[in-house]
Amino acid sequence: RHFPKEEAISSMSAVQQLTMLVGEGAKLDVHGCKTVDMASSFGKALLEFIFIVMAAITLLIGVNAGKSKAAGKVLYPATFTCGIAAIAYFAMASGGGWVIAPDCRQLFVARYLDWAITTPLILIDLGVVAGVSKWDIMALVLSDVLMVACGAFGALTVGNVKWVWWFFGMAWFLHIIFALGKSWAEAAKSRGGESGAVYSKLAGLTVIVWFCYPIVWVFAEGFGNFSVTFEVLIYGVLDLIAKAVFGLILMSGASSGYEAI
């Protein structure tokens, strides 16, 4: 859906910028855009649907997390992952959490804020299952935050600089994938028992799904080939798999009890 240009503005006050972030009465003539690619009514319906699913999964995992200390150790991060994602999707579905990017596309800032918090929580869960040290987890969490930040900065720029940010983000991303597939996998295998099997499922899912995100970014925030509505659809599917399905696998992964993990 596109909107006509009103009057061009050369600068915005802090209040105007904050207004744009929450979405209420946001200016559509920013950056001198003649048209702005916005999420359609179908896109908004998708956001609402994903919010409902994330909220339901949050409650389900949260109830199981409270059953024992061992269960909480592995399920509380998954609970907060889905809970924070639910909040982000509610913000987007209710018309907030977005700005207009320089390439005249609706950019959901709430999505990047979500990723900056939830993807580290996913890594914390993987680290707990694998049995790696807190320092190993911290190193990967920091790489993850930098990766998300690079993606956000790239989405907010145009020209060659956009792709410099993408390559920076990919460098941090490859560090994460290498660690998950090698050192963390070896640590999980060395623990024996159920940890190795559960980690293998979760890490395999995470690596495959996370590889899809930078590819979608290239055609969405990057080249702009995907409409914002299609972007909402594909990112939504990936988020559901990376967070909700991840949490459900973790919840049902310990057949002999969470003490085994």
pLDDT (tens digit per residue) in 92-109? 999 999 999 999 999 999
As a whole number of angstroms, the distance between CA 149 and CA 174 comes to 15
As a whole number of angstroms, the distance between CA 28 and CA 231 comes to 20
As a whole number of angstroms, the distance between CA 238 and CA 64 comes to 24
pLDDT (tens digit per residue) in 173-192? 999 999 999 999 999 999 87
Task: Compute the mean pLDDT over every residue in the chain, rounded to the nearest whole number.
Answer: 88
Q: What pLDDT score does 192 carry?
A: 76
Q: Is 132 or 18 the better-scoring residue by pLDDT?
A: 132
Mean pLDDT value of segment 113-133: 96
pLDDT tops 50 at residue 25: no
Q: What pLDDT score does 258 carry?
A: 65
pTM of the model: 0.87
CA angle at 151 for the pair 148 and 155, rounded to the nearest 5°? 140
